[in-house]
Amino acid sequence: METLLETSAREPVAPPPPLFNFARHLFQLNEARASKVAYIDDHGATTYGELEQRARRCASALLALGVHPEERVLLVMLDTVSLPVAFLGALYAGIVPVVANTLLTAADYTYMLTHSHARAVIVSEPLLPNVTEALSSIDDDGCQLIVSQPDASTEKPLTAPRFETLVDTAPPALKGCASNADDIAFWLYSSGSTGKPKGTVHTHANLYWTAELYAKPVLGIVESDVVFSAAKLFFAYGLGNALTFPLSVGATAILMAERPTADAIFTRLVKHRPTVFYGVPTLYANMLVSPNLPARADVAIRVCASAGEALPRDVGERFTAHFGAEILDGIGSTEMLHIFLSNRAGEVEYGTTGRPVPGYEVELRDEAGRPVPDDEVGDLFIKGPSAALMYWSNREKTRATFLGEWIRSGDKYRRLANGCYVYAGRSDDMLKVSGQYVSPVEVEMVLVAHPAVLEAAVVGVDHGGLVKTRAFVVLKRDFMPSEMLADELKAFVKERLAPHKYPRDIVFTDDLPKTATGKIQRFKLRELS
């Protein structure tokens, strides 16, 4: 008997059928939209009909190169339409795309190529040096190099096949692979902040669930939307934002290959007028302090999403005051594929991560595994249908994270009496000061509410065997570091939080170390202390 997952009291969602290939599912959904634009990238527009044809040709090309179903192909690609073509083409053929971060070193790619046993790697031409170096350092000569150059007018001499030429000259695959909903569809590598990156293995059905449980009922995405994600497609967050979600409703997605600076974002917001925008807290803060911030009338944003770090209340309130659009702050993970705890449109409570997305369950547990009461900090566990299967070839980490139906997130949260959840930081970032727990995030949220502060990160430092808090602060452009300002910031926190939580030291810095996803790397700050 099929189980229906409730997204609301009115809209039960049926699971996908047992025989289910996500790429073929999308193509069938959009058969009547062949002439509608699916993607606009830096090189032009691609319709739904063209996207399907190119993906099916990609499937044929990969199979003709000798890559077999269930084998892996590593994608080290910038955000152009060639990446969705490669991803969907691989899915259609039953080949497993492994989407890799484009900001990594040659050593990282060496590890991924070896760990995944990839039979091919498709790389954007600007990223070729690191991938070429990685290939030269591995013993397996069975991994084929394919180079993506979407704009043929800038083509440089290549010794490897050009991806776009392979796609253009291959016949379209007539039938997609007869995949099962629970078959392995693709991998995403974790950030590797606590060791080697972990190959997180997802199914065809997982993509379906994120669209049905979050994108449609919570984000409210519809066919008429134009969406733009600052988070890149190689992130779990970005993959949903710019591929799974828009293609599941027939919307149009904007892709940008360059780094997501505030000015680059403004250019797309004004030129293409997206209605749905996905960002991260650091970007929203930088947008608001930019002298080039566009006026509300110059953009068409109706709703935004945020993930990666907790969104400061002040940033959310100022953004909504300027643009009139709410930011739906949420939390997701590579293991759950997308957001499972989120604010809702019309019910946003800035400073919180909202409530569980219908279809997901969350629990807060203490160190003994017991439920914690409201207003107490606990470890966050999640249960939902988009959970990954495992970490590839890593039984120890798999057993520590995937606990039956539940996933241990590694995050600390507290639940308010109204049912909203407040982020308290990563489990390994929590501090114990004067015998009491301090959440770095809580202190950071207060600091960024000060008019002089753009960003802040709080870590614990050893003072004669005792832990004290130190805040690293990035100031807005009109403010200068001074001892007086440091004292003012300490007093600002003291007035708003319990006395033991204020930072004993303030260190002014020009920037904070971050992961490629925009998360603050507090461990690097601890190394400086």
pLDDT in tens, 130-161: 999 999 999 877 899 999 999 876 667 788 99
Which distant-in-sequence residues (6+ apart) come within 8 Å of 465 by Cβ?
none
**Would you place residue 1 in the very low, low, confident or very high pLDDT band (cuts 50, 70, 90)?**
very low
Does the pTM exceed 0.85?
yes
**Cα(393)–Cα(373) distance, integer angstroms:** 37
Q: Helix, strand, or coil here: 232?
A: coil
Whether the predicted pLDDT of 175 surpasses 50: yes
**Cα(306)–Cα(277) distance, integer angstroms:** 9
Q: pLDDT tens digits, residue range 368-387? A: 999 999 999 999 999 999 99
Residue 181 DSSP label: T
Residue 34 is which amino acid?
A
**429-528 topology per CATH:** GMP Synthetase; Chain A, domain 3 (3.30.300)
Residue 360 is predicted with a pLDDT of: 98
**Hey, what are 254's tokens?**
């904007």
**22-415 topology per CATH:** Rossmann fold (3.40.50)
Which residues of the chain form CATH 3.40.50.12780? 22-415
**Cα(136)–Cα(374) distance, integer angstroms:** 55
Which residues of the chain form CATH 3.30.300.30? 429-528
Instruction: Give me the helices (H) in 100-162, please.
Output: 106-116, 128-136
Q: Which helix (H) or strand (E) holds 50?
A: helix 48-64
Strand partners, 415: 421
**Plot region of 339 (φ>0 → left; ψ -120 to 50 → alpha; else → beta):** beta
Contact 146, 161 (CB under 8 A): yes
Whether the predicted pLDDT of 2 surpasses 50: no
3-state secondary structure 14-39: CCCCCECCHHHHHHHHCHHHCCCEEE
Mean pLDDT score of the chain, rounded to an integer?
92
Residue 529 DSSP label: -
Q: Tell me what percent of the chain is helix, strand and coil, each rounded to the nearest 5.
A: 35, 25, 40
**Cα(46)–Cα(37) distance, integer angstroms:** 6
**Would you place residue 521 in the very low, low, confident or very high pLDDT band (cuts 50, 70, 90)?**
confident
Q: Which helix (H) or strand (E) holds 58?
A: helix 48-64
